[in-house]
Amino acid sequence: MQEQITGLFTKELYRNERNSYTMFILESIKGKEIIKTVCTGKIQRIDYNTPVILTGQINVDEKERQGFCFSDYELKEDNIQESVCLLTSFKITGFGKEKALKTAEWFNYGIFNAVEDCKTTQAFEDRCPDDVKKYAKQIYTRVKRILTERELTKEIFSVGDNYPAVTMISKKYGEKALDVLRRNPYKTGFYAGLTFYECEQLAKRYKIPAFSCERADGILLFAVDDNKKNGNAFITIEELRKYVDTLQQKTHLHTPFDVVLATAVLNDGYVIEDNDKIYLKTVYTMEKSLAMNIMRIKNAAKQINEIDWQAVNDIENNEQIQFSASQRESFKALASEGIKLITGGPGTGKTTLINSLIKYLKEKYPDAGITMCAPTGRAAQNLAGKTKCVAETIHKTLGLKPFSTDDLRVTKKMEDYIYIVDECSMLNLKLADIFFKSLPNHCIVLLVGDKDQLPCIDAGNVFCDLLHSNIEKYILSGVHRQNNDSLISINAELINAGEIALKNGVDFDIMRVSDEETAIQLCMMYTQDKDLQVLTPLSKSATGSKALSEKIQSVKTFQSGAIKVYGDTTYHIGDKVILLNNNYEADYFNGDIGTITKINEDYITILSDDIYDFDTGAKKEIEVENSNLHDVALSYAITIHKSQGGEYDEVVIVLTKSAFRMANRNLLYTAVTRAKRKVTIITQDDLLEQAILQKSSRRNSNLCNLLI
């Protein structure tokens, strides 16, 4: 039987930011008595002392503690005290309890109703008593925001539990948020992170016809963006036609393709190149800009000197190494300015070569500044550790800071003469454009990477495009990292060649299972007492990084101490975690991995696994405040994409049928080459062999053609 309780939202105990499921204390004022009730359900984020009416049922837990589980709520005051509490919670300067009481009495404890009835600030001000009028705008704005978000929550949650979308739309459009959403749910929903099908459901609710310009624009927006997320700089007209046809079949709604195409022609947010390639204007501009700056540096390049081969021999003797023919050939990259590419598979001596090139440069050009960097913190730290030189992320090298939602600004001037960039296969179009735009005309740029690893996330395939251009390049061959009999390097080469007959041995083990559950249990058993890294193709699914991390965490033993609950995850001191986003103010970046060392009421402290202070040698400590805990996730298992740029002593790779669509040769090759000592592959049936036979498709990019 449904019941109603009324009171003040006074203390939040737990909240899942994704679906807004919240546990909180509701204080009901009954005369002089205050009754506190623990309530659970989905509710928008509201300030303390906001009055609410909850509809639901009383529930009793296993410890016989009484609470209230609600299914619906209203924002409404039930008495004078609640109205006063609401108004004083706004903390408006000069508006104390006395004026709050007068206002509450004036509106007969119906502030929410009064604001809802008034369409404008002025209308509300006109209804207020004279000595409250100057506070009317602030009161109206605060209450209107609460009410708007309430209605917005209802709308968004009618198609899916996505509270971040509510927050994003509300923050961007304020009290106009509902009108904006209802006018064009496709465009508004897209920027808020809704799926096309969620936007489609909202459009049906708002009776937006299938042939409307709004739907055509929505189809185009999602098509181009999905294409961009798959790494493509543009979508062809034929690919767009197939995308539209697929949508029509799934939704049973028909929007003429010509209308969708016309939208691309008429909308200045798109560029159509060669009558076939449809770009987002931002991506088109980046690609053109990148090509222009690469050619600028190339055309300005001067010959320096012939290579001093005696100096090369001296490095060889002093370091007690023997350069392969391809390594020795690579020294020619230093004979002139400009951009040079160095590529090779795992163990082909890229790091040895970089170290030797640095020694040569420091000897021959002692006054020349050298900058070393990589796309991710982990890759930069690996580079620093191997070269014993300072290496930073490209972001930090450039001093990148957020300028707006989508734009970054460079705050450091690039004045060095030599730039060495490692793990360049991870370099996306946006970052590459910013980087090359910042470089001086006369410089030496060495781009180092493995062409067979996974390409970058987001649009572009910069390193591969450059390798296919006429930019000067050096290809390393021969394996040096592992022993010659290492099955890791042998099998990596076999995978890269599309050979399915991999070799089992001490350092390479293949385990076959018939179902996902067995794979999960095997993974848990294997990782219980070992500090190793589990890699998986997906983030979501039964064998995705999130689910596997939780399973592995459940068999780990932690020392007693403070815990932190966020969403459906409980963090302990000693938990391995990964950071999922860039936060320039807090100085952490997407892909940073570490261990929780301290849990405070307001934040957690993470000791980085692979980022050090170069001067002290101490590992970096990262403090993540409660408001940013959405940036943190368990990292006992991570996606193969997240593992790029890192190396681990031992890895376990989990391949199950849920990853069928993603599993391919490049993905597997990247996962295998993360291991230094041992690889274990847990594969469901013959998915391993299917992955090896599945070669990644080439991305849509025009960069190579522009570099002429």
Mean pLDDT of the chain: 88
**How many angstroms separate the CA atoms of 267 and 263, rounded?**
6
**How many angstroms separate the CA atoms of 44 and 20, rounded?**
6
Buried b (16+ CB within 10 A) or exposed e, 302-325: eeeeebeeeebeebeeeeebebbe
**pLDDT higher than 80, residue 708:** no
**How many angstroms separate the CA atoms of 482 and 206, rounded?**
62
**Which of 230-244, 448-462, 533-547 has the least mean pLDDT?**
448-462
**How many angstroms separate the CA atoms of 446 and 355, rounded?**
13
Q: Give pLDDT, residue 617.
A: 67
Do residues 707 and 291 lie in contact, with contact meaning Cβ atoms separated by under 8 Å?
yes
Could you say which DSSP state residue 704 is in? H
Do residues 665 and 696 lie in contact, with contact meaning Cβ atoms separated by under 8 Å?
yes
Question: In this prediction, what percent of the chain has a pLDDT beyond 90?
Answer: 50
**pLDDT higher than 80, residue 645:** no
**Which of 132-136, 547-551, 617-621, 662-666 has the least mean pLDDT?**
617-621
Q: How many Cβ atoms are within 10 Å of 252's Cβ, its own excluded? A: 8
Q: Give pLDDT, residue 482.
A: 46
Q: How many Cβ atoms are within 10 Å of 521's Cβ, its own excluded? A: 13
Mean pLDDT of the 614-623 span: 75
Give the model confidence (pLDDT) of 281-317 as tens digits.
999 999 999 999 999 999 999 998 889 999 999 999 9
Question: Phi and psi of 469, rounded to 5°?
Answer: -95, -175
Q: Give pLDDT, residue 406.
A: 55
Q: Give pLDDT, residue 332.
A: 93
**pLDDT higher than 60, residue 481:** no
Highest mean pLDDT among 142-156, 403-417, 581-595: 142-156
Torsion, CA 153, CA 159, CA 163, CA 166, rounded to 10: -50
Mean pLDDT of the 374-379 span: 82
Q: How many Cβ atoms are within 10 Å of 53's Cβ, its own excluded? A: 16
* Beta-carbon contacts of residue 603 (< 8 Å; ≥ 6 apart): 623, 624, 625, 626
Confidence of residue 433 (pLDDT cuts 50, 70, 90): very high
Give the model confidence (pLDDT) of 490-546 as tens digits.
898 899 889 988 988 889 999 999 999 999 999 898 888 888 999 999 888 899 999
**How many angstroms separate the CA atoms of 578 and 569, rounded?**
13
Q: Give pLDDT, residue 119.
A: 85
**How many angstroms separate the CA atoms of 398 and 415, rounded?**
11
Do residues 371 and 440 lie in contact, with contact meaning Cβ atoms separated by under 8 Å?
no
**CA distance to 38, 534, 675, per residue, from 487 (Å):** 58, 19, 11
Could you say which DSSP state residue 336 is in? B
Mean pLDDT of the 202-207 span: 93
CA gyration radius, the chain: 29
Question: Whole-structure pTM over 0.95, yes or no?
Answer: no
Burial class of 674 by CB neighbour count within 10 A (0 to 12, 13 to 18, 19+): buried
Altogether, the residues listed in the chain come to a count of 708
Q: Give pLDDT, residue 65.
A: 65
**pLDDT higher than 60, residue 480:** no
Question: Phi and psi of 597, rounded to 5°?
Answer: -110, -20
Please, where are the H alpha helices in 420-502?
A: 429-438, 462-467, 487-496
Per DSSP, the three-state class of 563 is strand
Give the model confidence (pLDDT) of 52-102 as tens digits.
999 999 887 655 567 899 999 999 888 888 999 999 989 899 999 999 999
Pairing of strands 576-579, 593-599: antiparallel
Confidence of residue 484 (pLDDT cuts 50, 70, 90): low
Confidence of residue 403 (pLDDT cuts 50, 70, 90): very low
Q: Give pLDDT, residue 63.
A: 58
Question: In this prediction, what percent of the chain has a pLDDT beyond 70?
Answer: 96
Q: Which two tokens stand for residue 509?
A: 């083990």
Mean pLDDT of the 245-256 span: 86
Q: Give pLDDT, residue 16.
A: 81
